[in-house]
Amino acid sequence: MILAANFKMNHTRLSTKEYLRRLDAFLEEKKPKSDIYLFPPVSALDSFETKVNIGVQNAYPAQKGSFTGEIGLEQLEEFDIKNIIIGHSERRHILGENQEFITQKFKFFKDKGFKIFYCIGETLEVREGGKELIKKYLGLQLEGIDLSYKNLVIAYEPVWAIGTGKSATSEDIEEILEFLSKKSDAPLLYGGSVKPSNIKEIVSVSNCSGALIGTASWDVNSFCEMIELTN
Ligand code: PGA
């Protein structure tokens, strides 16, 4: 099982360090079977000594260069970062990243051997259009993506379920993960209001290999609780 914490724009360098200290102590004591990933804000990156796989929520597809406000491979290499989230709905819908740019990022970080947590998910409007429309929309978000890449993880995150407290139902998740499992052998995660009260049910959906967790991961006790509940 893969459990990943997406801090988004939360936590500082100091609080991330303290979070990791407590998470590592928990992992040392419980020795859970799951692979644990943490995606802190870039300003919190450091040369951590940790059992947790650290990744970034975003990066620009270049070694270095004139891309104001961005970070590239050079900055990731300093901290030996090998995991990245690409295609998150907040980057697609708030920051305006289109499929062409996302594909460019995917190709760049695939060539560098990164483990890529590739996110897809439909908007509420698409959802209201029915199952076939959802699948068509998700298919477009997979366009240009090498679905046989060995370091690929796909996260299905319906936009309307992210940060809203309202997760998709097990039946809905199951249908979409089944659709995705026919397209790729990559581990399939669900994301969108995963929390201690629903994680067990969600990860027991067939084809579900874990969860990408935002809000409920920001508190270390809550994240540890979810690791324990799914062990
Ligand atoms: P959420 O976010 O758990 O706060 O819904 C999930 C995500 O965006 O990855």
The confidence score (pLDDT) of residue 86 equals 98
Domain positions in the chain are: 2-229
Task: Given the residues 88, 90, 97, 122, select the one marked as catalytic.
Answer: 88
Q: How far is the CA of 163 from the centre of ligand 1 (A)?
A: 5
Tell which atom from ligand 1 comes closest to the C-alpha of 164. 5
Q: How far is CA 75 from the centre of its chain?
A: 20
* Ligand 1 midpoint to CA 206 (Å): 21
- What is the tens place of the pLDDT at every residue in 24-77? 999 999 999 999 999 999 999 999 999 999 999 999 999 999 999 999 999 999
Question: Which residue owns the Cα nearest ligand 1 atom 7?
Answer: 214
Predicted confidence (pLDDT) at residue 223 exceeds the cutoff of 90: yes
Among 84, 215, 223, which is best to mutate for testing ligand 1, by the most ligand atoms less than 8 A from CB?
215
Token reading at 120: 């897809």
pLDDT at 147 over 90: yes
- Given CATH 3.40.50.360, say whether it is the number of domain 2-229: no
Q: What is the DSSP string of 129-165?
A: T-HHHHHHHHHHHTTT--TT-TTEEEEE--GGGTTSS
Alpha-carbon dihedral sign for residues 153, 159, 165, 169: negative
State the distance from the centre of ligand 1 to the C-alpha of 65, rounded, in angstroms. 31
55, 36 in Cβ contact below 8 A?
A: no
pLDDT the model gives residue 196: 98
State residue 224's pLDDT score. 98
Q: How far is the CA of 129 from the centre of ligand 1 (A)?
A: 23
**What local confidence, expressed as pLDDT, does residue 118 receive?**
98
**Is 157 among the residues known to form the active site?**
yes
Question: In whole angstroms, what is the distance from residue 138 CA to residue 57 CA?
Answer: 20
pLDDT, position 185: 98
What is the pLDDT, as a whole number, of residue 100?
Answer: 97
Phi/psi of residue 23, each to 5°?
Answer: -65, -45
pLDDT of residue 167: 85
Q: Which residues of 144-169 are buried (b: 16+ CB within 10 A; e: fewer)?
A: ebeeebeebbbbbbbbbbbeeeebbe
Report the pLDDT value the prediction gives residue 166, as an integer from 0 to 100: 86
Q: How far apart are alpha carbons 40 and 8 in whole angstroms?
A: 7
Instruction: Dump pLDDT digits (tens) for 71-128.
Output: 999 999 999 999 999 999 999 999 999 999 999 999 999 999 999 999 999 999 999 9
Q: What is the pLDDT of residue 225?
A: 98
Q: How far is the CA of 227 from the centre of ligand 1 (A)?
A: 16
Residue type for position 125: E
For residue 178, indicate whether it is catalytic. no
Q: What is the pLDDT of residues 154-171, one digit of tens each?
A: 999 999 999 888 888 999
Q: Check pLDDT > 90 for residue 23.
A: yes
Mutation to probe ligand 1, out of 10, 37, 160, 212 (largest number of atoms < 8 A from CB):
212
Q: What residues line ligand 1, using a CB cutoff of 6 Å?
A: 6, 157, 162-163, 191-194, 212-216
Pocket test for ligand 1, best of 162, 198, 202 (most atoms within 8 A of CB): 162
Closest C-alpha to ligand 1, atom 2: 214
